[in-house]
Amino acid sequence: MHTQRIGVLTSGGDCPGLNAVLRGVTKAAEQLNWQVIGFQDGFEGLLPPAHYMILDHFKTDEIMQQGGTILGTTNRGHFGGKVGAGEKARVPVEMIETARQTLGELGIEGLIVIGGDGSLSTALQLYEAGLPIVGVPKTIDNDLQATSMTFGFFSAVECVTDALDRLHSTALSHKRVMVLEVMGRHVGWIALFGGVAGCADIILVPEIPFKWEKVAEAVRQRDAQGYFSTLIVVAEGASPTDGDELVYRSSTVGENRLGGIGQMVTREVAERTGKESRCCVLGHLQRGGAPTTVDRLLGTGFGVKAVQLIAEQKFGTMVSYKNDETRAVPISDAVHLLRFVDPNDQMVKTARRMGISFGD
């Protein structure tokens, strides 16, 4: 007989490793003889009539290797807690009360919210209203200050690395410049790690504004050295010293979408060097597919830790990974604090020492 019920939901964009978290939560809860209620389609599953499924070892045994989330997710709906970079929307009081009623009717004694900055902003508001919330960070961008690593990041990096491997052969064959635009929003971790792992020659990130002539000079220098092809990785939020990050569509709900810098880099390089240049936008391929081993391990550990925090009634906290240890930090310390690439980061230094240009 189950002595306690806990809930879990996945919110925001999909991400490799979400199912690993759900499996970790379920396995750890069953060891305590608890029942797990998985709410479907993010916070929307809390609205009446509540949409959920019972998670047990039969439902979760074979999901670790699957991308996405078996619960479904959304970054739209009635519980939006963020409207743009650095901006926060208040969750309507009636939505909070509806969530409270749903949890009460189902006997949920703790709710695990798996999401990024926006979803955790909503989770924080629910906690401040008295709901028993524990957060699990989720973002492929690896951009939360409160944790040194998030699951999904290395899966995204692997996708970038594979794309660069493939682009390398066509760049060599045609003596072209190949530009790969990758995700990351306002930070450049995916571009940095993927660029180094995929043997890029130029890496452009938001934290290091670049100069067009410096980028062109790096391409010309490679030609002079007998390397007639060049791979450029550019983060979607990167921008030149005299420009701003590009927004290709401003949604009426949620954050602005970034994009277009890849095409701009391709055009400028072609005009300034005379080199045939092509652009590839990797897009949502970085979010899909099976999680890497690292992301499976990290997601599993996050799920197990979240259950432990509920057992200890440490509500209002978020699972964090620092110094090779899974720990807890206040959700309030986690949201709205992005972890940017330090221009003096060890990986940046490693790249520079190999001759990789950052266009600065």
The pLDDT-based confidence of 257 (bands split at 50, 70, 90) is low
- Examine the pLDDT at 328 and tell me if it is beyond 90: yes
141 catalytic? Reply is yes
Mean pLDDT across 270-283: 95
Q: Distances in Å between the alpha carbon of 188 and those of 42, 95, 111, 225? A: 27, 35, 32, 28
- Examine the pLDDT at 247 and tell me if it is beyond 90: no
Catalytic option among 141, 143, 201, 295: 141
The pLDDT-based confidence of 323 (bands split at 50, 70, 90) is confident
Domain 4-151+291-334 class in CATH: alpha beta
Cα–Cα distance between 12 and 98 in angstroms, integer?
Answer: 20
Q: What percent of the chain has pLDDT over 70?
A: 92
Cα–Cα distance between 10 and 269 in angstroms, integer?
Answer: 41
pLDDT at 21: 97
Cα–Cα distance between 210 and 225 in angstroms, integer?
Answer: 22
Query: In the chain, which residues fall in CATH 3.40.50.450?
Result: 4-151+291-334
- Examine the pLDDT at 255 and tell me if it is beyond 60: no
Choose between 242 and 279: higher pLDDT.
Answer: 279
pLDDT at 250: 45
The pLDDT mean for the chain works out to 91
Q: What is the pLDDT of residues 333-349, one digit of tens each?
A: 888 789 999 999 999 99
**Domain 155-288, second-level architecture:** 3-Layer(aba) Sandwich (3.40)
Cα–Cα distance between 354 and 206 in angstroms, integer?
Answer: 21
Query: In the chain, which residues fall in CATH 3.40.50.460?
Result: 155-288
Cα–Cα distance between 304 and 298 in angstroms, integer?
Answer: 10
- Examine the pLDDT at 291 and tell me if it is beyond 70: yes
Cα–Cα distance between 77 and 60 in angstroms, integer?
Answer: 27
Task: Give the predicted TM-score (pTM) of the model.
Answer: 0.90
